[in-house]
Amino acid sequence: MSYQHRNADGSKLDLPLGKVVCIGRNYADHALELNNPIPKEPILFIKPATSVVPMEQPFTVPTDRGAVHFETEMAILVGETLKNADESRVMHAIAGIGLGLDLTLREVQDQLKQKGQPWEKSKCFDGACPLSAFLSPASVNDLANVQIRLTVNGETRQDGNSAQMLTPVLKLLAYASHWFTLEPGDVVLTGTPAGVGPVQPGDQLRVELVDLLRVETAVQQTD
């Protein structure tokens, strides 16, 4: 299933698919629901381009590695190179705002955490990062006040606001750029609100930046 960055109107964006930079535990309630400590600074990890699939199309999840959890996140598309950037520079480098699902093999992650090992096995499998099309930055008035919602089979499972982020969006990107270069086509997932849980084949999902962007999708049944 090929992926190409797209505008919300369906047109292609002239940006390559790069890495996906994820922020762990950026909502206190989510950290607490998994019995994790609230971090004093952002937790960074990366999903490879091979994990990305288009959210608008039905996607598959592994069925032989334990529970797969959804984590709904606001996604930021990077349009310019960012290295040791400040927040003003970051603001001008944002090319789009969309949605991402940070799919996680939760039991595998728990085992890795107990061993003090990195999370890649639980976070980086093929298809682990469905991404939506992207809104233009001008269409989002306030990155610090965006409602993020996930409905599974008609039941609201996640419903949080970017105002609850421990580190807001511009500071997140600036922080990440001080550790490694963000390049055009990279995507930053900004953390997930509380309410994460398992997803399985046959589930119907509605993923939203409320009043801004909505994606109806499904977890595909596998043979």
**Residue-wise pLDDT tens digits, 103-125:** 999 999 999 999 999 999 999 99
- The residue assigned the tokens 């609230």 is 38
**Residue-wise pLDDT tens digits, 115-169:** 999 999 999 999 999 999 999 999 999 999 999 999 999 999 999 999 999 999 9
Which residues are within 8 A (CB) of 68 and not within 5 positions of it... i.e. 6 or more apart?
Answer: 61, 62, 103, 104, 105, 106, 198, 199, 200
pTM: predicted TM-score of the whole model, two decimal places = 0.96
- The separation between CA 19 and the C-alpha centre of its own chain, rounded to angstroms, equals 12
Superfamily of domain 20-218: Fumarylacetoacetase-like, C-terminal domain (3.90.850.10)
Which residues are within 8 A (CB) of 188 and not within 5 positions of it... i.e. 6 or more apart?
Answer: 20, 21, 22, 23, 75, 76, 78, 172, 173, 176, 182
Q: Where are the domains of the chain?
A: 20-218
